[in-house]
Amino acid sequence: MAPAGDDLAQLLALFDLENPEPDLYVGVHPRQVGPRTFGGQLLAQGVVAAGRSLARGNPPVHALHAHFIRGGDVSKPLEYRVSRLRDGRSFANRQITVTQEGEVVFVMLVAFQDNAAGLEHAVPSPEVPYPEELPPLGEHFRGYEDRIAMFIDALHPIDIRFANDPAWKAKETGERLENNRVWMRTDGHMPDDPLLHVAAMCYASDTTVLDSVITTHGLSWGVDRLFAATVNHSMWFHREFRFDEWMLYATESPVAAGSRGMGTGRFFRRDGVQVTTVVQEALIKYFPPR
C-alpha cells in the first residue's frame, strides 16, 4: 500500500484530540470544510474521545448511537465532554456531548464489550468486482467538475472504488439504483491502534450510506436540487478489522417517508466476512424543477 497521503495525514490529525482536563477533549476541523461540520468527523472524534477515556486493555467498541442536534460551525473547535456511565470488566459505556460555545451540536452513546465465542451467522457478501478491477474515484469526477465541485474539493482520506455507477453517472443514464456497492480503505497505512481503525470507518460510513435513498428515485447529489442533513446514525461492530485493508460497503434504503430517508449498510472484509452494520436517517428534501 502507498504511503499515507496528505489527506489521510489530516484525518489522523483530526483524531489527535487535545485533552485539557479530565473527560474533556477538543477537536478541530480540517482545512477543507463544507458549510457545516461533516457528520463523519463528529462520529470519528466522538468515538476517539470515548475510547481515550478507558483504561488501557479495556474492551473494544461494540456499538454507537448518535444524534445530530446542530450543524456545527466549521470555524470553531468542538468540545467533546465524556460522561462515564459504566466501567466493568467486560463492558463499558460512555456518553459524548459535543458543544460549541455552550450549544449542543451532537450527542452519542458508545458501548464497549469484549468479544466472546458464541453463535455466529451473517448474510453473504454481495458479489462484485474486486477493487483492483475498478477505477479510482477521481476518474468518476471527470466531466462533472462543474456539477459536483463540493465533492471534488472535499477531503479525500479514503480510497473509494464504486462497483456501480456513482449517483451522478447513474442520473445521466437514467438508471435507478436500489443499492450501492463501494470498496473503501484509508488512502495509506494506518497506525496499529484498533480505536483509530474504528474512527476511520466511522468517518467513511457517513460518505455513501444515503446514496440509495436518492438513486432509488433516479436522483443525484450535486445535480438535482436536494437538501440533506443527518438526524441520527448507529453502528454495530461485530468483529475486529483494519480499515487500511479493503472493505466492501454494501448499502441500500429500506424506506423514505415524512421527508426523512433511511440508509442501511454493511461492511464486509475482502474474505466476505461481515464486520460492521450501519443505519443512518437523514432529513432529505427534493425540490423538483418547475
State the catalytic residue, choosing from 186, 207, 230, 264: 230
Residue 125 located in a structural domain: no
8 Å CB contact between 266 and 255: no
Tell me the pLDDT tens digit for each residue of 93-109: 999 999 999 999 999 99
First to last CA, the chain: 49
User: Rounded mean pLDDT of the chain?
Assistant: 94
State the average pLDDT over residues 187-193: 96
Cα(47)–Cα(9) distance, integer angstroms: 18
| Helices of type H across the chain | 6-15, 39-52, 137-141, 149-152, 167-173, 194-205, 211-215
Residue 122 located in a structural domain: no
Cα(10)–Cα(29) distance, integer angstroms: 9
Residue 2 in this model has a pLDDT that exceeds 50: no
Burial class from Cβ neighbours inside 10 Å (0-12, 13-18, 19+) for residue 257 reads exposed
Residue 158 located in a structural domain: yes
Strands (E), the chain: 18-21, 24-27, 61-68, 78-87, 91-100, 103-113, 158-162, 179-186, 226-237, 247-257, 260-269, 274-286
At residue 144, the pLDDT reads 85
207 is catalytic: no
Tell me the pLDDT tens digit for each residue of 197-206: 999 999 999 9
State the average pLDDT over residues 153-159: 92
Handedness of CA 86, 39, 265, 197 (dihedral sign): negative
Cα(178)–Cα(252) distance, integer angstroms: 6
Residue 11 located in a structural domain: yes
Residue 237 located in a structural domain: yes
Residue 142 located in a structural domain: yes
At residue 119, the pLDDT reads 93
Residue 4 in this model has a pLDDT that exceeds 60: no
Tell me the pLDDT tens digit for each residue of 130-153: 999 999 998 999 888 888 887 888
In a 13 Å sphere around the CA of 75, the CA atoms on its Cβ side amount to 1
8 Å CB contact between 212 and 177: yes
State the average pLDDT over residues 122-136: 95
**Range of the structural domain that residue 253 is part of:** 6-114+131-286
Question: 225 vs 35, 197, 219, 222, CA distance in Å?
Answer: 16, 34, 9, 7
State the average pLDDT over residues 56-81: 94
Count up the domains in the chain and report the number.
Answer: 1
At residue 94, the pLDDT reads 98
Residue 252 located in a structural domain: yes
In this structure, what CATH number is given to the domain that contains residue 14? 2.40.160.210
Band (5; pLDDT cuts 50, 70, 90) = low
At residue 3, the pLDDT reads 39
Residue 57 in this model has a pLDDT that exceeds 80: no
State the catalytic residue, choosing from 159, 187, 206, 244: 206
